[in-house]
């Protein structure tokens, strides 16, 4: 008997990672049950529907360099359901829209002659006398490349809104990845020779694929196909306990409604639930130091206020970064630019994104107050005339960003080692599942590799699935300098714990 014929796998979560695992297992004839705590599939990649309007949490570009992931997307969703969308996003600052990535002529033109002269002066000063600690401090790293004035205009505010701490407290070592190849001199070269160098800039993907009803369309179809192939996807069912005996997981307990529990035997458990919650749900529990590591993981949370406005206030960008320090909104999505199928005739829907901490003053505001605040900010920015917002909806997303702080790597290692030794048939996958800043494609790839490990006994190290590795491999192939990251997922800043 093969492992596929012999075993039953419980999958925790019906997001991209969980459904990819279930799809791969079911396609190979293995018994699989997915338990999803929510009443909707897709996880962070779901499409939220309210009164017929569809919202995407953050805007999910379907872009990958992993051929297997691309092939699976094509297998799940018919070609007709995919749109090819142009990517456009600009920076909004003091009533002007700046190209992103920055282009020198556009930026200097928007600033006007006086501010442009000051910016160039400040840039030259920073070039002649760069901040001494630029290798250690992100603010200094940016100032060394752009000068103080451009740094304050184009980097400081948004970064602080996103991560919730001053840039001056952030280390520099991740920065070379996210904004690599960007400096004022590189920007000038780009402005003069527009197409030169652009392929080398990681943040540039000029077209991307997008399911016409939003990213959730992919996962709704994946769930249907899993069930068609004989797997089960059970909604409104949170896994609350993973039972362990003789050094392995043997069953999960699922809570369907408060007080209603069901114990389900399992030979393997693939988990995309947050790693901290996974360790907390194991019974008998891990020792205190492992639980302390679990409790020590940190997250950045997110909420979006989707406002319905007349079509005249639409813009061609998929999203706009809001750099004005006077408003709390960090980014504005225009869902109509993502797909005309997300919005209704004559109107568009703008998603005002706020980066928050679960439980903070924004998170706990009633929806009506958030809609009023978002409306006031949209009007203050001049992106809509007063009184033109028709209605609004609030979507809160806890744990949207697993945070990398100075302790996260050690914490993850402690949990990982304990699982490997005490519950080797429990497999963390995905983004929060592995506490890694993965996009959907790499979340999926961790699930694919895990299924191969289960069914074929391959010894893939799933923790090595690493987006930056590919960029580096590609760059090495073109002769550019490579930098090893090794197993940390997509590069993200280390956010020091205060």
Ligand X SMILES: Cc1cc2nc3c(=O)[nH]c(=O)nc-3n(C[C@H](O)[C@H](O)[C@H](O)COP(=O)(O)OP(=O)(O)OC[C@H]3O[C@@H](n4cnc5c(N)ncnc54)[C@H](O)[C@@H]3O)c2cc1C
Closest CA to 282 of 421, 410, 419: 419
Q: Using the rule CB under 6 A, which residue among 152, 244, 298, 431 binds ligand X? A: 431
β-bridge partners, 54:
49
Exposure string (b/e) for 430-446, b if CB count within 10 Å is 16 or more? Answer: bbbbbbbbbbbbbbbbb
Letters for 225-254 (x = contact with ligand X by CB under 6 A, - = none) are -------------xx---------------
Please tell me whether residue 15 binds ligand X under the rule CB under 6 A. yes
Q: Cβ closer to ligand X: 81 or 379? A: 81
By rule CB under 6 A, what string of x and - marks binding of each residue 385-414 to ligand X?
---------------xx-------------
- What is the Cα–Cα distance from 472 to 364, expressed in whole angstroms? 42
Query: Which positions from 51 through 90 interact with ligand X, judged by CB under 6 A?
Result: 57-61
Residues in the chain: 498
Residues 6+ apart with CB under 8 A from 39: 235, 236
Task: Spell out, one character per residue from 105 to 144, where the chain touches ligand X: x when CB under 6 A holds, - when not.
Answer: ----------------------------------------
In the chain the first and final C-alpha atoms are separated, in Å, by 54
Instruction: Return left, alpha or beta for 94; rule: phi > 0 is left, psi -120 to 50 is alpha, else beta.
Output: left
Q: Which is nearer to ligand X, 130 or 487 (CB)?
A: 487
Question: Applying CB under 6 A, does 441 fall inside the site for ligand X?
Answer: yes
Binding region for ligand X (CB under 6 A) out of 97-105, 285-293, 424-432, 487-495: 424-432
Binds ligand X by CB under 6 A, chosen from 9, 30, 36, 148? 36
Q: How many residues bind ligand X (CB under 6 A)?
A: 36
User: Does residue 35 bind ligand X (CB under 6 A)?
Assistant: yes
Q: Is 263 helix (H, G, I), strand (E, B) or coil?
A: strand
- The DSSP bridge pattern shows strands 299-310 and 347-356 to be antiparallel
Sole binder of ligand X in the list 438, 450, 466, 488 (CB under 6 A): 438
- State the alpha helices, DSSP H only, in 28-129: 67-76, 104-111, 113-128
Binding residue for ligand X, selected from 4, 182, 222, 273, defined by CB under 6 A: 273
* Half-sphere exposure of residue 90: CA atoms within 13 angstroms, side-chain side: 15
Footprint of ligand X (CB under 6 A): 12-18, 35-38, 43-45, 57-61, 238-239, 272-273, 277, 302, 400-401, 430-433, 438-441, 443
């Amino acid at each position: 008997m093969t492992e596929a014929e012999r075993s039953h796998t419980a999958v925790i979560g019906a997001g991209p990672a969980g459904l990819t695992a279930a799809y791969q297992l079911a396609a190979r004839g293995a018994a699989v049950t997915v338990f999803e705590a929510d009443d909707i599939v897709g996880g962070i990649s779901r499409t939220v529907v309210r009164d017929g309007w569809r919202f995407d949490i953050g805007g999910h570009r379907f872009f990958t360099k992993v051929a297997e992931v691309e092939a699976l997307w094509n297998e799940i969703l018919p070609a007709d359901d995919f749109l090819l969308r142009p990517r456009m996003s600009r920076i909004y600052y003091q009533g002007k829209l700046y190209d992103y990535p920055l282009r020198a002529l556009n930026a200097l033109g928007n600033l006007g002659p006086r501010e442009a002269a000051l910016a160039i002066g400040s840039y030259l000063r920073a070039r002649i006398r760069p901040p001494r600690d630029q290798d250690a401090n992100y603010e200094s790293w940016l100032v060394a490349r752009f000068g103080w004035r451009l740094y304050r205009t184009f980097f400081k505010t948004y970064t602080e809104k996103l991560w919730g701490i001053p840039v001056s407290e952030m280390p520099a070592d991740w920065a070379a990845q996210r904004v690599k190849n960007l400096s004022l001199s590189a920007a000038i070269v780009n402005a003069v020779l527009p197409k030169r160098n652009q392929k080398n800039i990681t943040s540039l993907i000029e077209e991307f694929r997008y399911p016409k009803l939003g990213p959730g369309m992919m996962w709704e179809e994946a769930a249907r196909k899993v069930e068609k192939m004989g797997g089960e996807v059970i909604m409104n069912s949170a896994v609350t306990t993973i039972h362990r005996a003789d050094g392995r997981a043997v069953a999960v307990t699922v809570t369907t409604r408060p007080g209603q529990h069901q114990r389900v035997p399992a030979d393997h458990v693939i988990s995309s639930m947050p790693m901290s919650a996974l360790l907390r749900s194991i019974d008998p529990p891990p020792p205190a130091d492992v639980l302390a590591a679990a409790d020590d993981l940190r997250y950045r949370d997110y909420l979006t206020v989707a406002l319905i406005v007349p079509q005249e206030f639409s813009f061609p960008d998929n999203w706009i970064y809001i750099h004005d320090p006077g408003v709390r909104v960090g980014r504005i999505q225009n869902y109509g630019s993502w797909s005309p199928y997300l919005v209704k005739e004559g109107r568009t829907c703008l998603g005002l994104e706020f980066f928050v901490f679960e439980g903070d003053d924004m998170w706990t505001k009633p929806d009506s107050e958030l809609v009023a605040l978002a409306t006031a900010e949209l009007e203050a920015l001049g992106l809509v005339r007063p009184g033109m917002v028709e209605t609004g909806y609030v979507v809160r997303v806890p744990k949207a960003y697993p945070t990398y702080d100075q302790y996260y790597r050690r914490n993850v290692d402690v949990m990982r080692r304990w699982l490997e030794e005490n519950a080797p048939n429990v497999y963390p996958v995905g983004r929060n599942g592995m506490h890694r800043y993965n996009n959907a494609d790499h979340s999926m790839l961790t699930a694919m590799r895990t299924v191969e490990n289960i069914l074929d006994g391959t010894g893939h190290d799933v923790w090595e699935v690493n987006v930056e590795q590919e960029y580096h491999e590609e760059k090495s192939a073109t002769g550019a300098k490579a930098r090893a990251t090794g197993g940390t997922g997509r590069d993200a800043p280390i956010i020091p714990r205060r």
